[in-house]
Amino acid sequence: MKNIKLSVIIFSLILGSACKTEKKDNIMNNPLVQKFDTPFEVPPFEKIKLEHYLPAIKYAIEVHEKEIDSIVNNEEKATFENTVEALDFSGSLLYKVNLIFCNLLSANTNDDMRKLAKEIAPLRSNHTDNILLNTKLFARIKKVYEKRDNLDLNTEQRTLLDKTYKKFTRGGANLNDPDKERLRKINEEISVLSLSFGDNVLAEINKFKMVIDNEEDLAGLPEDVIQAASETAKEMELEGTWVFTIHKSSMIPFLQYSEKRDLREKIFKAYINKGDNNDELDNKEIASKVIKLRYEKARLLGYEDHASYVLEINMAEKPENVYSLLNNIMAKAIVVAKNEAKDLQKMIIKEGGNFELKPWDWWYYSEKVRKEKYDLDEEALRPYFKLENVRDGAFKLAQKLFGLQFVERPDIPVYHEDATAFEVLEEDGTHVGIYYMDFFPRESKRFGAWMTEYRPGRVVEGKRITPVISNVCNFTKPTGDKPSLLSYEEVLTLFHEFGHGLHGLLSECTYYELAGTNVARDFVELPSQIMENFVPEPEVLNLFAKHYETGETIPPELVEKINKSSYFNKGFEVVEYVAASFLDMDWHTLKDTADININEFEKQSMQNIGLIPEIVERYRTTYFQHIFTWEYSAGYYSYIWAELLDSDAYESFKQNGVFDKSTAQSFRKNILEKGGSDKPMNLYKNFKGSEPSIEPYFKAKGLI
């Protein structure tokens, strides 16, 4: 009997060893865990299959766990290098795999990927909690933190130490064991709910199609808009009709020009009711659960509410400061918006209408008022904004400001045929990084525009690890024999995202935690928004605004009209944005989360700020992905906060000349290269020489 048992044990050990070897061989054949054999080691997208993600993530988690164990079990005394720095350098494989999966989940997804994401989310959440709630690891970090004043740390190291310590305390390191377990469950549930919220919004956008089969219903629409709708219909195998969607590149031109008020109402309501149709895609219950869980988590961690938890590490610091800013701006902007509404109502009456202005009328009549007041037709600008020219204009601006060159690289793998890869070089030819641009809407891509990274730019032991950065947008597509011709708003968006791209490309930080755009949420929009300021400058427009057919540079009189109308409709723009910021803050300062009625709460929130009925907040709760899917909860105000910064910062460029190299180099050295290596206000003052003033913002928005 013993001999039989011994034989079984020996066989099991041999079999177990063989299985482990086979498992290891299989994972080593997984392209996600291999060293990428591609130019500049970009992801080999064509080799990566759906079945590779889960094994790669599980394996990368195992590797990271071993790295953490080696830090925790280090018998040497805890130091900055062997604990805090070692922690930041750990997990590089998991970081790499996660970035690829999450980026493609947003930019080139499908049902299988979305299903897999819900399986992966709890694994990642649990792994993060395993680190942040590791008692021994936190004890080592705490020992280093407690003697921080006696350590010879540079600014970046000190910032990393402070951020790491706060990350652990904010992650529950000081909680008792039952509370730690509850925190794990909260984090896991929020991670899955956030994915479901985003999936529902994407499904709503892809679901709605306004099919027009009567040519009379196209009245007022420009030929380019009609052609685009025809192309969309062909793609959907609905030839002989015209299809409009609630992608903004399709919806906004329809709202601007369609004479059919009932159809304007139909498409507008489809847009603002996303996730609020009491069906399988309804987001009200998900939003309610997330609000409750965030409040519970904040209280568990010792904060008054979720906003207080979030803002502690932002420039704003506390909710009162955000509300103070929003109230200050709203008081001025609502007056301007009301006057704009009066002008639109006058235009309705002038044209023989006998109805009151509604939200779906705003774009249509504001376009008419714009033409009357400034003789400016938005559609007259499009021929001068060929997408490729605008893109190259952004490149030329970066060359003039920072000495950068952008060279298209068709040999570099891309994840979709719409994406294009560029190599970025310094003036002397030194490699800076790889930059992907992906411009057009598709069902596999979420809506909006964003910057992301596949590899952050860092400098370790004197060697630069070059970044791989991506900008993803949803712009007007080419139609027939016409190229993609952008609206002025889309031009601003391209320059905005390009600013984020530069922030990632020029990163010179040492640590993952601080590199590139890993900065305070209300500071991250400064590099993006400052780039928008350059667009209307005549010398900048002359770089790229050339007629797509004739090559003629945009006429000076058209540039003058753009600048004269720069304050037009600003009341509307500011109010709809500030209203969404208030809604975000109201949700995340809510103390009684027992019985939440999403629509009633939202209605009351908007009444409290005096939002006029002609304007709907920029994002309603049920499709407010910034705060329920992405990382802007209690942080949507940050765009305005950053606008305050960029308006003030741009004064330096205006004073010294928009292409002034010394100003640009100071912005590069003190802002773009520094990432989160110092406190945001220190970085800003290093560039500007003083703290920002709010007056340039009010001036830029025409509010004073």
CATH number at residue 497: 1.10.1370.40
Confidence band of 3 (pLDDT split at 50, 70, 90):
very low
Over the stretch 138-174, which tens digit does the pLDDT of each residue have?
999 999 999 999 999 999 999 999 999 999 999 999 9
Buried b / exposed e over 83-113, threshold 16 CB at 10 Å, is: bbbbbbbbbbbbebbbbbbebbbbbbbeeeb
346 and 432 share one domain: no
How many structural domains comprise the chain?
Answer: 5
Q: So what's the pLDDT on residue 5?
A: 43
Q: Are 320 and 624 in contact (CB under 8 A)?
A: no
Asked whether the beta carbons of 529 and 335 are under 8 A apart, the reply is no
Predicted pLDDT of residue 12: 45
Query: In angstroms, rounded to a whole number, what is the distance separating the alpha carbons of residues 623 and 618?
Result: 10
Say yes or no to pLDDT of 4 above 50: no
Position 400 scores a pLDDT of: 98
How, if at all, do strands 419-425 and 405-408 pair? antiparallel
Same domain, 440 and 503: yes
230 and 301 together in one domain: no
Over range 326-350, report the average pLDDT.
Answer: 97
Q: Does residue 105 surpass a pLDDT of 70?
A: yes
- Residue 196 in domain: no
Query: Active site residue: 497, 508, 614, 651, which one?
Result: 497
In a domain? residue 148: no
**Which range (12-21, 118-127, 489-498, 539-548) has the least confidence?**
12-21
Q: Are residues 351 and 418 in the same domain?
A: no
Is 255 within 8 Å of 264 (Cβ atoms)? yes
Checking if the pLDDT of 20 tops 60, the result is no
Helix, strand or coil for residue 452? strand
Residue 567: what residue type? Y
Cα end-to-end distance, the chain, whole Å: 94
pLDDT score at 451: 98
Instruction: Please write the tens of the pLDDT for every residue from 24-43.
Output: 668 999 999 999 999 999 99
Give the integer Cα–Cα distance in Å for 383 and 390. 11
pLDDT score of 418: 96
460 and 544 co-located in one domain = yes
Q: Average per-residue pLDDT in the chain?
A: 95
Q: Give the span between the Cα atoms of 419 and 412, in whole angstroms.
A: 11
Statement to judge: residues 409 and 517 lie in one domain: yes
Would residue 367 be called left, alpha or beta, if left means φ above 0 and alpha means ψ between -120 and 50 degrees?
Answer: alpha
**Residue 542 predicted with pLDDT over 70:** yes
pTM, entire model: 0.92
Position 166 in a domain: no
Final residue of a structural domain among 83, 106, 140 = 140
Residue with tokens 């922690």: 87
- Residue (of 359, 274, 307) closest to 620 by Cα position: 274
Task: Give the pLDDT of residue 23.
Answer: 57
Active site residue 189: no
Stretch (H or E) spanning 434: strand 431-438
- Residue corresponding to tokens 């009997």: 1
What mean pLDDT comes out for the span 65-77? 98
CA atoms within 13 A on the CB side of 560: 4
Q: Please choose, from the candidates 533, 532, 506, the residue with its C-alpha nearest in 3D space to the C-alpha of residue 517.
A: 506
Q: How many residues does the chain have?
A: 704
Whether residue 347 sits in one domain with residue 290: yes
**pLDDT tens digits, one per residue of 277-299:** 999 999 999 999 999 999 999 99
Within a domain: residue 190?
A: no
Assess whether pLDDT exceeds 50 at residue 2.
no
DSSP code at position 174: T
Residue in 561, 559, 578 with CA at minimum distance from that of residue 570? 578
> Residue 184: inside a domain, yes or no?
no
CB 480 within 8 A of CB 227: yes
pLDDT tier at 15, thresholds 50, 70, 90: very low
Burial bucket for residue 566 (CB in 10 Å: 0-12, 13-18, 19+): middle
What tens digit of pLDDT does each residue of 473-522 get? 999 999 888 999 999 999 999 999 999 999 999 999 999 999 999 999 99
Same domain membership, residue 418 and residue 553 = yes
What pLDDT, on the 0 to 100 scale, is given for residue 24? Answer: 63
SS3 state at 482: strand
pLDDT attached to residue 693: 93
Residue 197 belongs to a domain: no
Helices (H) and strands (E) in the chain, counts: 28, 9
Which residues does 500 contact at the CB level (< 8 Å), separation at least 6?
A: 450, 451, 471, 517, 524, 527, 528
What is the spatial distance between Cα 244 and Cα 367, in angstroms, rounded to a whole number? Answer: 19
DSSP conformational letter for 440: -
Q: Identify the CATH number of the domain in which residue 312 sits.
A: 1.10.1370.10
Question: Rounded to an integer, what distance in angstroms lies between the CA atom of residue 178 and that of residue 255?
Answer: 54
Residue that is last in its domain, among 272, 299, 320: 272
102 located within any domain:
yes
Same domain, 426 and 303: no
Which pLDDT value is given to residue 25? 61
Q: What is the pLDDT of residue 17?
A: 46
Confidence of residue 651 (pLDDT cuts 50, 70, 90): very high
In 10 A of CB 21, how many CB atoms?
Answer: 10
Q: What domain range is 55 assigned to?
A: 31-140
| Nearest to 606, CA basis, from 584, 579, 631 | 579
Alpha helices (runs of H) in 208-283, residue ranges in sequence order: 223-235, 248-257, 261-272
Q: Are 295 and 339 in a shared domain?
A: yes
Note whether residue 73 is domain-resident.
yes
In angstroms, rounded to a whole number, what is the distance separating the alpha carbons of residues 678 and 529? 20
Percentage of the chain beyond pLDDT 70 is 96
Which of 245, 272, 299 terminates a domain? The answer is 272
Position 351 pLDDT exceeds 60:
yes
Q: Are 639 and 577 in contact (CB under 8 A)?
A: yes
Q: Do 322 and 435 share a domain, yes or no?
A: no
The pLDDT value given to residue 479: 87
Same domain assignment for residues 591 and 556: no
Picking from 11-20, 192-201, 319-328, 530-539, which range would have the lowest pLDDT averaged per residue? 11-20
Structure tokens at 400: 């003039």
Write out pLDDT tens, residues 364-419: 999 999 999 999 988 899 999 999 999 999 999 999 999 999 999 999 999 999 99
Residues 561 and 288: their CA atoms lie apart, in Å, by 46
As beta bridge partners, residue 434 has 423, 468
